[in-house]
Structure 1
């Protein structure tokens, strides 16, 4: 077969009388630097950024309510300890506290949502637009199929997710216990082993709780350690006593603990997990509590 004159000037392309298009480069096995950045470092940095953003919201809110001095503001001191436990930079902590001195329209709300089988979610929201935040959270609940029931206190009303805002009774009150199935408790999470590396059992932890002034000990759903429950006013004293007893406190904070657990098996449990992950991604949701009893450990959020 004769090769055209214009093609004879490129011998490499005139192998069989037709153009030989360059082959696509082979794809590697994925063991390169960019794949690690995209699949490992990227999600980890995004989660770290969301955690720091929530802690900064809590720092500003606590500083506005009780002052910028952690020695005179126990709630601010507890949030600062949480920041240190999450390796938040010291400069970021100081900047968040100083920003509380500037006037800001931020509002702190507690919103409770009801789910199937007696499940409940309690959200701590810090936002500059409460109406917008409640509307977005209500829409998010509806998208995940959570509680399309009648709004509490409205007979024959439209079917909508039950969401109740529980604002503080007065400006000086930083926490307001809701009327649902949660109670305000101090929670100190400790490592599964003591300072000498010995594993910490539940029976030994109960004896330690009696000595340090804690009221109860439970297994931590978020980790492998234990959590000591105490009154909110005794949180700092219990944390110091546990450290003096040889344990390793990881985090100390005032939280809302459910009075009773509700099991959600099957598709309802999967929808609840996706809902909690979606709520954790919202920047105005500072904390999220629930009373759901998982059949297996939930994925990390």
Structure 2
């Protein structure tokens, strides 16, 4: 074994250490992607994906070289290790790997043009962390135009640092927006339970219940109401799972306004203004950007 000194670069991830904490980014890897796509001279895009896009219903010509699309999206997926702002757009683009069309290729190039404007963006893991977990979850009901399955998005903070996030299509079709929101609560509850166990294995006890923020009052009502009724029978398993977590004191659900829902960035294609506002609240930084 060799002591290679302080960590600075590992598998494409650049690490900068200071009194403020650890900053993780993939600037060189990002610039390599932009260069390979031939977009070093292109005009940067303000957001990674167009608002109100219709990529799921695209019917343009199929790409003659789908391998180029698969290679580009695959590289972007690895980039999302330190770029939570790409989670939603890559979730959409990765659904068309089998038969990508012209519209999908153009959307992937838009992501690359967005990266050109923010190559050094990354996550700051704060040193002054109180080691308490906090979760945010959201869903976009019937988001997929083909299957009408809803989209789950959630994120977890450790102190002020973003440590975990996900965008994923739900496995079943939800019959109401409340059901879709509730399934998102069940998904993030699994992650919070795992993270609490991970912290405990590292010698960090988390005695307080974890705050979980959701913007659906009806989903919160289902979580707290111990009485099942006809409209919740089809989500009974998730009901038991979340309610047990509340009873055990693992989570404390709370309501947050839709306009303040941080997980929106993982479930919807937002306009540049709202996208930038939510991104700043996630603790995403770009030390290379001009001040």
Q: What range is the shorter-chain TM-score in?
A: under 0.3
Relative contact order higher in (CA < 8 Å, ≥ 6 apart): 2
